[in-house]
Amino acid sequence: MRRRCDAPPTLDTKELTRVLEAVRAGTLDVSAGIERLSGCGELDLGHTRLDIGRAVRCGHPEVVYGEGKTPQQVLEIARAALAAHDRLLVTRASEETAALLTAELDRARHHELARAVTVELDEPAAEGSVVVVCAGTSDLPVAEEAAVTARMLGARVETLSDVGVAGLHRLLAHVDRLRTARALVVVAGMEGALPSVVAGLVDRPVIAVPTSVGYGASLGGIAALLAMLNSCAAGVSVVNIDNGFGAGYQAAQINRTAMVTTA
């Protein structure tokens, strides 16, 4: 049976270190240490079980997916998350949800194009390099979701917009910038050709994001998804249709791993 915590404890790497040092020193017994680290790793809000131990396990706090939740539910989740962490990312936030969060939470910022709300430090750390490449202006909402996500996870992010294959010269003008990235997120709808082109120009991992942008035969992004899955260029991975969050998260993890490896 899961233990419900009345208040969300802070469970970050500093707290983890403190508890483990106490167990090693003999000032805290093993069972008490286990209770502290695992018993409150999840906070039961009634409608939601918030995984406040995720930052210790995975390196980043849990991200809140706003779609399908009421604005009040998202606010309650956000407050609990901020009691345990110093930052917050809410994706797919409706206008009503975003308005409530920005009114009720200090430092909350609405990223309208990305449909996201963030609470972050005044000067968030940014390391390495993630480049988000966006085929067309219509793909920008998904690209911005990827950019906001990667930045919230500690990556330095740059976005190149409207550089699709219909005007290949626009992309080729930025090849040097593409080659300096530790990971690239390439967002495209229509026929989804851009990730293959980018992957053929760089020696870095390319995360392809198909979007639902396109005319009838694009089938809501399925045509772009299948094209990306069948890319003949090496080093291309593919996330789901319109999943800018998943791509941004993956790129930030690659960027972070590369920073540790080269440190």
- Measured in degrees and rounded to the nearest 5, phi and psi for residue 160 equal -110, 115
Regarding whether 139 and 86 lie in a shared domain, the answer is no
Cα gap 82→254, rounded to integer Å: 26
Q: Which of 85, 100, 119 is where one domain is finished?
A: 119
Q: Is residue 2 part of a domain?
A: no
Please provide the DSSP assignment of 117-174 as one string: EEE--SS---EEEEEEEESSGGGHHHHHHHHHHHHHTTEEEEEE-S--GGGHHHHHTT
In this structure, the answer to whether residues 114 and 136 fall within a common structural domain is: no
155 lies in the same domain as 29:
no
The domain boundary, picked from 119, 153, 171, lies at: 119
- Specify if 1 maps to a domain: no
What token pair was written down for 115? 């449909």
Same domain? 131 vs 253: yes
Domain identity same for 168 and 74: no
pLDDT per residue as tens digits for the range 84-94 = 888 899 999 99
**Using one digit for the tens of pLDDT, what is the confidence trace for 122-171?**
666 678 999 999 999 999 999 999 999 999 999 999 999 999 999 999 99
Q: What pLDDT, on a 0 to 100 scale, did the predictor assign at position 206?
A: 98
> Could you tell me which of 229, 216, 224 has the C-alpha nearest to residue 242?
224
Q: Is 131 found in the same domain as 229?
A: yes
Say how many domains are in the chain. Answer: 2
The 10s digit of each residue's pLDDT in 37-66 is: 654 566 767 787 777 767 667 778 888 999
Task: Residue 50: give the domain boundaries.
Answer: 13-119
How, if at all, do strands 64-65 and 88-91 pair?
Answer: parallel
Are 136 and 258 in a shared domain? yes
Q: Angle between the 95-104 and 71-84 helix axes, to the nearest 10 degrees?
A: 40
Same domain flag for 96 and 179: no
**CATH number where 169 lies:** 3.40.50.1970
- Distance, in Å, from the CA atom of 23 to the CA atom of 34, rounded to the nearest integer, reads 10
CA angle at 86 for the pair 98 and 50, rounded to the nearest 5°: 70
Q: CA 15, CA 19: separation in Å to the nearest integer?
A: 6
* Boundary residue ending a domain (119, 142, 161): 119
Contacts with 16 (C-beta within 8 Å, 6 or more apart), sequence order: 37, 56
pTM for this one?
Answer: 0.82
pLDDT tens digit string along 93-114?
999 999 999 999 989 999 999 9
Which residue stretches of the chain are H helix? Answer: 13-25, 30-34, 54-58, 71-84, 95-104, 140-152, 168-172, 175-180, 194-199, 222-229, 244-262
C-alpha–C-alpha distance, residues 118 and 102, integer Å: 9
CA proximity to 192, closest of 141, 144, 163, 227: 227
